[in-house]
Structure 1
Amino acid sequence: MTAEDSNNSTPPAQDGTGTVRRVGRTVRKVLVAGAIAYGIVAGYMYLNQRNFVFVPTGELETPGAKGLETVTVETVSMQDGTNVTIWTSEGRENTPIVLYFHGNSSNLSTRHKRFAQVLDSGFGLYAPSYRGYPGSEGTPSEAAFIQDALEHFDRASATGRPVILHGESLGTGVATAVAEQRPDAGLLVLEAPYTALVDIASEQYPWLPVSVLMKDPMPTRERIRNVQSPILIVHGTEDRVIPVAHGERLYELAPEPKTLKIVEGVSHSGLWGNGLWEAVQDAYCTSKAEMRAC
């Protein structure tokens, strides 16, 4: 073997710089792929966010089919020409009207047992179906819901009777927005409320810039500071949809007069069956003792 052969058989030295470059290229590819995937997911969430917030389902049945013989179905044209459905019942003379804003899922007719209890107590009822929900035209949004709700309040208030604003879950943000702008409401009832829709979304999707992406933030925590009506907040300790801390925080922010009712061991949908309506009547009658309903 010659010296030249011996030199040729020696393995080349490892190129450390080349290895670092290869690793760097791999890392960059992974980061770029991750950024693309994140952008796709964020874009999907942004474009479809209202499908997560507003979940209208089912068919709107008639009040009669639900045993509500005194309830009338009306179609009302909103300021922008959108037609929405409302259920109304006068109740007894000299009693308040409950303006009821339901939750984000299903439809108005699934709340029939609640409405029956309201009517059995002699109170009047004004229950709108949100735009975009069964029985109503239009597309759901925070701005549209609030504008419609203000119109509904004015229609109910035109009867000359006191109006109780009752918000259920999603409806708590709508009810509070109305109470902020209509200080003559008789009572604001918040059933399992949130501090803001954007807060709920931030808790559920901490990896997204929700505050930037959210189209309908519904900042109840800001609006409740300006409410002049008496406020009743009811929340369950076992609420896994909107944690009870939201109700407690709103109570801290709310001005007097206010009442907080925390129901031990009760979930998001169990409040009505655990004394909520009785609490509403007590809260109203405390502030309006001259009403015959009390």
Structure 2
Amino acid sequence: MNGLSFSELCCLFCCPPCPSRIAAKLAFLPPDPTYSIISDESGSRFSLHLTERAEWQYGQRELDWIEVFKIRTSRNNRIACAYIRCCPKAKYTVLFSHGNAVDLGQMTSFYIGLGTRINCNILSYDYSGYGVSTGRPSEKNLYADIDAAWAALRNRYGISPQNVILYGQSIGTVPTIDLASRYEVGAVVLHSPLTSGMRVAFPETRRSWFFDAFPSIDKVPKITAPVLVIHGMEDEVIDFSHGMAIHERCPRAVEPLWVEGAGHNDIEIFPQYLERLKAFLNNDLLHD
């Protein structure tokens, strides 16, 4: 525990924080909603309406690719989901858990660009308390949220587990790893993952504490699918060492992508990002 101050040590051992407080301090910054979901006269069909803050980059044709709906989680929240049909004959569907401080409205342009380039359809969702999803953000809600999205992918769209790629970015790696540790899936992509809440707050932490939040490092050994870890080497939010530690603990990790010069929010602009994802889908998974 070298590097912790005396006051920090006192806080750890005399009055350890509860996981929900660690989670709230580190993770959740839901933006003001950038979209709404509007139903038709019958109440059975819904459409996505974006505000200017969503920065939509496409036309009506691409907007028509997006099917939106709400589902109820096991914790009784109703979360917003979007299914983007980017590729009619796609082999894989990506279940995408997005990063912090964004919602579905801000991510839809990115999803269309990503899906069309890697030939995958995408289902994404807003965490409880994000976008138009009800409830409030919490660690337990994260796990319930992705479980509900997983159920929708399986039951609503009939996607087989072996054709699902779980993709988590930043805080989204937390529910992604949790789900992947419990279910068989086709593959997993972990984009700027964190090992645990305590290890982010106190970088010198070397073990898992009972009061830790987001203990992903203890769950990754249970993942049976191939895992691609992506991390910027200049990440100022979640240190690059987290990505390396996650990669080392994954039983079926493939060659990772360490992006020199990339921070926490700009990996996607580097050309090797798409190149590595395409190689993962077209080479690593076929030869696995």
Secondary structure of the residue aligned to 1:126 is: strand
**Residue of structure 2 equivalent to 1:88:** 83
Counterpart CA distance in 2 for 1:245 and 1:80 is 33
Counterpart CA distance in 2 for 1:48 and 1:253 is 27
Amino acid at match of 1:160: I
Show CA shifts across 1:106-156 (max 9, x none): 322222332121332331111000001121001222122112212312321
**Residue of structure 2 equivalent to 1:171:** 172
- Which of 107, 122, 128 is matched with 1:125 structurally? 122
For 1:66-145, list aligned pairs within 5 A. Answer: 66=56, 67=58, 68-69=62-63, 70-90=65-85, 91-121=87-117, 122-145=119-142
Q: Percent identity over the alignment? A: 20
- Which of 19, 27, 32 is matched with 1:53 structurally? 27
The answer on 1:225 being equivalent to 2:224 is: no
Secondary structure of the residue aligned to 1:232 is: strand
For 1:177-192, list aligned pairs within 5 A. Answer: 177-183=178-184, 185-192=185-192
- Which of 247, 253, 267 is matched with 1:251 structurally? 247
Counterpart CA distance in 1 for 2:238 and 2:251 is 22
Matched length? 245
Show CA shifts across 1:181-200 (max 9, x none): 112x1111011111112210
- Whether the 8 Å contact between 1:88 and 1:127 is mirrored in structure 2 is yes
Q: Which runs of 5+ in 1 are unaligned?
A: 1-33
**Residue of structure 2 equivalent to 1:160:** 159
Secondary structure of the residue aligned to 2:179 is: helix
Q: Which has the larger radius of gyration?
A: 1
**Residue of structure 2 equivalent to 1:261:** 257
Counterpart CA distance in 1 for 2:26 and 2:195 is 18
Secondary structure of the residue aligned to 1:258 is: coil
Q: Please state how far the C-alpha of 1:250 moved relative to its aligned partner.
A: 1.1
Amino acid at match of 2:168: G
Taking structure 2 as the reference length, the TM-score comes to 0.76
Show CA shifts across 1:19-76 (max 9, x none): xxxxxxxxxxxxxxx99xx98xx99x87865154211012232656423411122111
Secondary structure of the residue aligned to 2:33 is: coil
Counterpart CA distance in 1 for 2:216 and 2:145 is 17
- Whether the 8 Å contact between 2:71 and 2:148 is mirrored in structure 1 is no
Counterpart CA distance in 2 for 1:140 and 1:82 is 11
Q: Which stretch of structure 1 is more off in the superposition, 91-100 or 63-72? A: 63-72
The answer on 1:272 being equivalent to 2:268 is: yes
**Residue of structure 2 equivalent to 1:8:** none
Q: Please state how far the C-alpha of 1:266 moved relative to its aligned partner.
A: 0.7
Amino acid at match of 1:240: E
Q: Please state how far the C-alpha of 1:287 moved relative to its aligned partner.
A: 4.2
Secondary structure of the residue aligned to 1:248 is: helix
Show CA shifts across 1:192-238 (max 9, x none): 1111122102239x8xxx95765xx1111111111011100011111
Q: Please state how far the C-alpha of 1:177 moved relative to its aligned partner.
A: 0.7
- Whether the 8 Å contact between 2:84 and 2:111 is mirrored in structure 1 is no
- Whether the 8 Å contact between 1:60 and 1:135 is mirrored in structure 2 is no
The answer on 1:281 being equivalent to 2:278 is: yes
Counterpart CA distance in 2 for 1:256 and 1:132 is 34
Secondary structure of the residue aligned to 1:188 is: strand
Secondary structure of the residue aligned to 2:251 is: coil
Q: In structure 2, do the counterparts of structure 1 residues 194 and 289 end up closer, same or farther at CA, with 3 Å as the change threshold?
A: same
Q: In structure 2, do the counterparts of structure 1 residues 277 and 197 end up closer, same or farther at CA, with 3 Å as the change threshold?
A: farther
Instruction: Give the helix-richer structure, 1 or 2.
Output: 1
Amino acid at match of 2:242: H
Q: In structure 2, do the counterparts of structure 1 residues 257 and 53 end up closer, same or farther at CA, with 3 Å as the change threshold?
A: closer
Q: Which runs of 5+ in 2 are unaligned?
A: 1-5, 37-47, 51-55
Amino acid at match of 2:262: V
Counterpart CA distance in 2 for 1:252 and 1:80 is 33
Q: Please state how far the C-alpha of 1:94 moved relative to its aligned partner.
A: 3.9
Counterpart CA distance in 1 for 2:253 and 2:115 is 26
Taking structure 1 as the reference length, the TM-score comes to 0.74
- Whether the 8 Å contact between 1:85 and 1:135 is mirrored in structure 2 is yes
Amino acid at match of 1:264: E
Counterpart CA distance in 2 for 1:257 and 1:250 is 9
